[in-house]
Structure 1
Amino acid sequence: MAITHLLNVDRHDTKNRALVTLAGEIDLNSAPLVRESLERCLRDGIRVIDVDVTAVTFCDCSGLNTFLHALLNTATVGGSLHLHYPSPALERLFVLTDTGSLFLPLPDTLAGSPPAPQPPAMPQTVPRPAPVLAVLPGGLL
């Protein structure tokens, strides 16, 4: 007896922007549904796609590949794709694959707030390593 995992996809459009809400598991069986839903947005003229993944309970590499494929297709037509509210498990997948910066929107900056601190500049000269001392047999320098 095969176990079928359900994935619900819901889409709401406003002009050239869509909110796609996913709920359930994204795996090898359900990833094609996600891919088709995101591709349909582009075919319908949508150029800004927001994907609410709050209710995604599982996502494997086929789901990640689907999101990467959709991101590439969206960028090709001058659009953007962002995933919103990922679960800790989905965030971990992004961390492990170093893809979070591709999908997750940057936090909004408050008007009038100071700019984020910058890391210290690297020194212009590279420090030289300490000289190596030869050790004579018997542990004497």
Structure 2
Amino acid sequence: MPLPPLTSYRHDRRKRALITLAGAIDLDTVPLVRASLERCLRDGIRTIDVDLTLVTLCDCSGLNAFLNASRRITAAGGTLRLHHPPRTLVVMLDIAGCELLLLGVPFGQLSPPPGYTPVTTAPVPPHRPVPPVPPVPVLSGGAV
């Protein structure tokens, strides 16, 4: 089943913009994300909020676009904040250690998107050290 195309809607209020994205952010659709964020900068917008509630997928190309935009917006004296990111993006942000940069709050303190049901997992048993393997004697001269 093909993924839905990405749509972008922008609502401005003075020097602040809310960009609402819906659909999948991937290699094919990330140019729309980049263009939307770049257009805000060109228009003098310095506070950009991105609502990702309706985003079904965001791959690493989307993460890269958000990180590059954040760098450029910060350099221009502004801020970029992502709201209600899909789970895959939250995990990528957490692994990359940049959730504070884009989300403004630590990973564990994010409010879940509407309708989100947390996944429960079994507790992980404590790590037990593996006993050392005894050395194997080396034989010299010929086949074993």
The normalised TM-score by structure 2 is 0.69
Mapped to 2, the partners of 1:89 and 1:54 lie a distance apart of: 13
Mapped to 1, the partners of 2:52 and 2:6 lie a distance apart of: 11
Other-structure match for 2:98: 99
Cα deviation code 1:57-111 (max 9, x no counterpart): 111111011001100110111000000112222211211222211100238xxxx
Mapped to 1, the partners of 2:11 and 2:57 lie a distance apart of: 23
Other-structure match for 2:57: 58
Mapped to 1, the partners of 2:58 and 2:92 lie a distance apart of: 8
Mapped to 2, the partners of 1:69 and 1:89 lie a distance apart of: 18
Cα deviation code 1:103-123 (max 9, x no counterpart): 00238xxxxxxxxxxxxxxxx
User: Among the aligned pairs, what percent are the same residue?
Assistant: 53
CA RMSD of aligned residues (A): 1.5
Residue 105 of structure 1 aligns with an amino acid whose one-letter code is: G
Other-structure match for 1:21: 20
Mapped to 1, the partners of 2:52 and 2:37 lie a distance apart of: 13
**Deviation above 4 Å: which 4+ runs of structure 1?**
none
Other-structure match for 2:85: 86
Other-structure match for 1:46: 45
The normalised TM-score by structure 1 is 0.70
CA contact (8 A) 1:84 1:105 kept: no
CA contact (8 A) 1:6 1:30 kept: yes
Count residues with an aligned counterpart: 105
Which entry has the higher C-alpha Rg, 1 or 2?
A: 1
Mapped to 1, the partners of 2:45 and 2:54 lie a distance apart of: 23
CA contact (8 A) 1:24 1:55 kept: yes
CA contact (8 A) 2:50 2:83 kept: yes
Q: Give 3-state SS (helix, strand or coil) of 2:48's partner.
A: strand
